[in-house]
Structure 1
Amino acid sequence: MSTETAAAAAQVAAPPPAEWAEARSRVYAVGLAAALPAVDRPLADVDGHTLAEPLTTRTDLPAFPTSSVDGWAVRGDGPWQVVGRVLAGHTPSPLTADGTTAEIATGAMVPEGTTAILRIEESSRTPDGRVAGTPRPQPEWREPGDEAYAGEELLPVGTAVDPAVIGLAASCGHDTLRVRRQPRAALLVFGDELLTSGPPGAGRVRDALGPAVPAWLRRYGCQVRPADVVGPVADTLSAHVAALRGALADADLVCTTGGTMHGPVDHLHPTLAALGADYVVNTVAVRPGFPMLLARLVGDDGRVRFVAGLPGNPQSAIVALVSLVAPLLAGLAGRPMPVLPQATLAEPIAGRGDYTHLALVRVDRAAGTAHPLRHVGSAMLRGLAGADGFAVIRPGTTGEVGARVPVVPLPLTPGERAW
């Protein structure tokens, strides 16, 4: 298709905006349908990935009876004759006779024949060198399988891998994990009016999204290299088509900033038409951030790629990230659809009529309350810098004090759980 034909096609009246919650569900579904392939990675390289198969343990946990304390492994009644010493990492000789004991360290294997473990701080020595004391009635060691039995499923497919999961996998005897390949992402910055260094002035504004969006994408678990950030792209259709075609060669997801409307220099829609993209979502009934989109392309190699059109206003762009990109990436990673935590509004938040209102808030985790912030215009970033997320005020409602509302958390680090 020629660029002129594409431009004409893009002038077709846009469909009505999608309802916000429905748009999230729609992009998650297309992401899950295009879930990235599973790969094996060493434990040192899986933080922020997603389990592609259940995590099971290769042995009982613990694998052998393990002392919980420093003390004495004793057999029968005391006082006990010392016949040995057991350190962690060694296989001990059994206690074969009543009245005998072996000194034992925390984490060491309990000798066969042990009937109790006496804590070191609760023991004493008799004049002839034997050990005396009264063991506690409860066992002072962990039996095999106390934590898990061999082959038991500990975590399901779709679990986000974090340091705790990595440690658990190691304790189960794994050296590698089967995980989803992380999405490769790129960013195209549109707008000749943007400066990439120095203070704004003389009718030109500083590009805030070029430096920020890649960091957000990394926190969502994407791989973004410095070379994957391109722009500002010249305000011509041919430049947009060339830039997007080049970014799609390697990326699973290309985010763009600006150009999502139909003004004289808004070339994203005709660019998508020129490349044969299909819209998954074209505008969302949400404020701020209304002119956002997600498109899907299938390459000659059969691989599915996505383009997320973020508005040019900085806060609106982040609204698009949490609204469309976050659920898409959850689907690509094979994770469950994110469940939004809830908080109680400490102050009122206005509704936006038929639109969902995503209002920046700071969350008091101890009290479970959400506090709206100032400096939250669609072009502002000051409020975002102090926010924990966006309170969701549903269409046709007003956020009254005391109301329980969903909160879309801002990403922290890959795999990190919300409050």
Structure 2
Amino acid sequence: MLTYAEALATLLKEAHPLETERVGLSSSLGRILAAYVSSPLSLPSFDNAAMDGFAIRAGAGDIPSGTAFTIAGMQAAGDGTTAYPGADACEIATGARVPDGFDTVVPVERCERMGDIVRLTQAEPRGQNIRRAGGDIATGAPALTAGRRIDAAAIMLLAALGIGDVPVARRPRVVIINTGSELHDSGPLPEGGIHDSNGPFLEAMLASWGVDLLARHRVPDTGDAFAHAVREAMHAGVDLIITTGAVSAGRFDFVPSALAALGARECFHKVAIRPGKPILAARFDGGPLVLGLPGNPIAVAVGHRFFLTPVLRAMAGLAPEKPLRVRLAEGHDVRPGLQHFALGRVEADAEGRQVARVQRNQAAYRIVPFTQANTWLTADGSFGEVVDAWPLDPAAAT
């Protein structure tokens, strides 16, 4: 049986970066930049006033209190005037271009105006209250790096630079197939029935990754509905098929044999992990990658977080994720010989230091501890004094 590290390495060999496309800024939120973006202009693009007041041609040294200047005009934000030849002062608004040769802006509240004359009420340092051209970013400087998830801050910068579209990694096309004759939508249940939670969970997590989810199927454990859903996904040209359930060793665990009959090449089946040991990966030559997750909800969550997430990162051209190393507040016994994934909480102790605690009463079928956790904790063989902590929502942390 493969270790987690071996299985992940095998899986990532099958996950290739997707091609690049360009999208408009209004459609770029959440997308992954596929290439470095350099600044096409400087920000600010010109020297401008940091506040309302008077722009002064101060010359050398500070300006003494009581110095008076003749006001040549008014410089408002958006005005195209670049110079007042022969003048030593002009009224100026916040954000307005500082005219050529003017080197200081004095706030209006530290001035006395009498008609066209302005007098300083205190000594003023030369060069103050001017936002210099390029003070934020210079022309040609790196604006955003490849692999950056475009968030609101990135959109603010791109818009300020006048960039209307950006190169991003294509969204992976995905189909989810949940197996189980016992699965039903919300509402009254028949005898022996349960509500499908895996499908909505995966759909929600994939939405935060911004994937192109083409379909989510729920199929019974008998008949050819599974094969039909797989063929339909392949015909649609998907990159990834995610299945849940029917990957273990029972009578109704048909997914491995069904995929083989459809022509899929098995990459691995069963990994030395807990929960999620029966996980399966397969590849259709020239077609999609298949990740078969067990049916228990927390095994699905582990499969998403520690197998599917690395695949999506690889498809987006992102580097491997690195965990946070955190001190464990108290010991936690686990079965030796397995890679363990546990829900936990990272909190501040009495001294304000970050410590991790493992959630109590965990099991592959128990969902409530998942809702109370704020991190995943991982350990190979045993939970020692220091553990790896991973965000619950990897897309939000990218």
> Taking structure 2 as the reference length, what is the TM-score of the superposition?
0.90
1:369 aligns with 2:342: no
- Counterpart of 1:277, as a letter, is A
Contact 1:25–1:327 (CA<8 Å) still a contact in 2?
no
- Kept in 1, the 8 Å contact 2:105–2:127? The answer is no
Specify the alignment match of 1:85 in structure 2.
74
CA distance in 1, matches of 2:276, 2:168: 33
> Which residue in the other structure is 1:338 paired with?
321
Q: Which residue of 2 aligns with 1:139?
A: 128
**Who is 2:111 aligned against?**
123
Q: Quote the sequence identity (%).
A: 30
2:8 to 1, 24, 35: 24
Q: Distance in 2 between matches of 1:29 and 1:356?
A: 21
Q: Does 1:278 align with 2:265?
A: yes
Residues 290-329 of structure 1: pairs in structure 2 closer than 5 A: 290-299=277-286, 304-329=287-312
Q: Is the 8 A contact 2:14 2:289 kept in 1?
A: no
Structure 1 residue 120 displacement after superposition: 2.2
1:340-383: CA deviations, max 9, x gaps?
22222223222331111111012227742222223421011101
Contact 1:117–1:135 under 8 Å retained in 2: no
| Equivalent residue number for residue 111 of structure 1 | 99
What count of residue pairs does the alignment treat as equivalent? 386
Structure 1 position 71 matched with structure 2 position 59? no
Structure 1, residues 269-318: CA drift from partner, whole Å, max 9, x if none? 1122122222334222211111112222233xxxx421111110001111
Contact 1:24 1:324 in 2 (8 A): yes
Q: Distance in 1 between matches of 2:28 and 2:137?
A: 23
**Other-structure match for 2:366:** 380
Greater relative contact order, per chain length (Cα 8 Å cut-off, separation 6+): 1
For the Cα contact (< 8 Å) 1:237–1:267, is it kept in 2?
Answer: no
- Post-superposition shift, 1:237? 5.9
| Cα distance, 1:107–1:267 mapped onto 2, change above 3 Å | same
1:93-127 deviation per Cα after TM superposition (whole angstroms, max 9, x unaligned):
413235x3122222221111102111223222358
In the alignment, structure 1 residue 204 sits paired with structure 2 residue 193: yes
Alpha-carbon distance change, 197 to 136 in structure 1, aligned in 2, over 3 angstroms: same
Q: Deviations over 1:27-69 (max 9, x none)?
A: 33432xx211111101111111111110111112221112222
**RMSD across aligned positions (CA):** 2.2
8 Å Cα contact 2:71/2:116 also seen in 1? no
Distance 1:257 1:151, change over 3 A: same
Q: Which moved more, 1:70-79 or 1:321-330?
A: 70-79
Offset at residue 205 of structure 1 (A): 2.0
Deviation at 1:87, TM superposition (A): 1.9
Question: Are 1:50 and 2:35 an aligned pair?
Answer: no
Output the amino acid matched with 1:276: G
Which residue identity lines up with residue 24 of structure 2 in the other structure? P
Specify the alignment match of 1:185 in structure 2.
174
Distance 1:389 1:245, change over 3 A: farther
- The answer to whether the 8 A contact 1:292-1:311 is kept is yes
Does structure 1 residue 155 correspond to structure 2 residue 144? yes
The 1-side partners of 2:280 and 2:340 are apart by 17
Question: Which residue pairs with 1:4 in the alignment?
Answer: none
- In the alignment, structure 1 residue 398 sits paired with structure 2 residue 383: yes
| CA distance, structure 2, for counterparts of residue 375 and residue 318 of structure 1 | 16
Tell me the TM-score normalised to structure 1 length. 0.86
- Residues 23, 101 of structure 1: alpha-carbon distance in 2 compared, 3 angstrom cutoff: farther
Paired residue type of 2:375:
G
Runs of 4+ in 1 over 4 A off after TM superposition: none
Instruction: Flag the 1:335–1:97 CA change in 2: closer, same or farther, 3 A.
Output: same
Name 1:265's counterpart in structure 2.
252
CA distance in 2, matches of 1:89, 1:394: 61
**2:243 corresponds to:** 256
Structural mapping, 1:213-224, within 5 Å: 213-224=202-213
Report Cα offsets for 1:224-283 as digits up to 9, x if no partner: 25xx1111x122363321121112333221111101113211111112212222233422
Is the 8 Å Cα contact of residues 345 and 374 (structure 2) preserved in structure 1?
Answer: yes
